[in-house]
Structure 1
Amino acid sequence: MKINIKEILGEQDEKPVSGGEETEVIQEKTEAPEEEDSREEKAPEVILQEERETPEEAPEAVGEEEETEEPTEPEEEPGQEEPEAEHEPVSQGEVAENTGQTSEEEPEIEAEQEPEIKAEQEPEIEAEQEPESETGRETEGEPAAEKADKGVDGKQLLKKYGWHGGIAASFAILLFSVFAYTNLVPREVHATINGEETTVMSKAYTIEGFLENENIEYCDEDYISKTPETFIYDGISFDLRHATDYTVTADGKTTEHKTLKRTVGDALAEEGIQVGERDIVTPSLDSKMGDNVNIVVQRVTVREEVKEETVAFKTLEKDDSSLDEGTSKVITEGKDGTDKVTYEVTYIDGVEASRKEVSRETVTAAVDKVVANGTRITFNGTSYSRKLVVKAYAYTGGGRTAMGTRARVGEIAVDPSVIPLGSTVYIEGVGARRAEDTGGNIKGNTIDIYMNTESQCRSWGVRYVTVYIK
Structure 2
Amino acid sequence: MNRERETGGFLKKYPGVKIGIIALILLLVVGVSSAFTVEKEVEVNFKGKVYTANGKLLESLEEVLIANELPVSDEYKYSTPLTTLFKDVIDVTIEKKISGKILVDGKTIAYLSGGVTVGDVLEENGVKPDEDDKVEPGLNSPLTEKTGDIKVTRISYVESTGIKDVPMKATIVEKAELPAGTRIVVQVGQNGKANKKEKIRYENGVEVSREVITCEVIMPAVEEIIEVGPSTTIVMPEAVEVSSVTGNVNVEKSATGDGSASINPESGFKGSMVVSATAYTATGNNTASGTVPQSGRTIATWGGIPFGTKVYIPALGGVYTVEDRGGAVGYGIIDIYMDSEAACESWGRQNIEIYFVD
What TM-score does the superposition give when structure 2 sets the normalisation length?
Answer: 0.40
Point out the structure with the larger helix share.
1
